[in-house]
Amino acid sequence: MMATRRRSASAQRGRSLVLIAVLAFVVTAVIVVWRRGRGYEEVRRIAALDAQVRDLEAQQALLERDLREATGSARIKPAAERRLGLRMPSDSQLITLPRRVSGRVSVPDSQSPRLP
């Protein structure tokens, strides 16, 4: 009888250890699969965001090009002449004004006064 108890107690302990090992393996496998699934979701999300960034950069480039064309003199000059009656001044009509630099007047070299 005693031998039967010893076998059943050691067999019970062996089964418990196997059950614990199987449960640990299953829990570890579930965690690994879950983390990989999350990783794949993040990769897909990052790829979608990268595609969105590329689309927005392309749209920005188109808008900048349209802005350059709309504000260029080739487009503004005819509209100013037609709508407002403006025209480009001749060289004799241009006046260059000196500009202030840190509290003093800066005079262009071609117009700088000469002291006797």
Contact criterion met (CB below 8 Å) for 113 and 107: yes
The domain tally of the chain equals 1
Cβ-Cβ contacts under 8 Å for 89 (sequence gap 6 or more): none
Q: Provide the domain limits for residue 61.
A: 7-85
12 within domain boundaries: yes
107 within domain boundaries: no
93 within domain boundaries: no
Helices (H), the chain: 2-71, 73-79
31 within domain boundaries: yes
Contact criterion met (CB below 8 Å) for 75 and 69: yes
18 within domain boundaries: yes
Per-residue pLDDT of the chain (116 residues; tens, 9 = 90+): 445 556 677 778 889 999 999 999 999 999 999 999 999 999 999 999 999 999 999 999 999 999 999 888 888 888 888 989 888 888 888 888 888 877 666 655 555 554 44
19 within domain boundaries: yes
66 within domain boundaries: yes
94 within domain boundaries: no
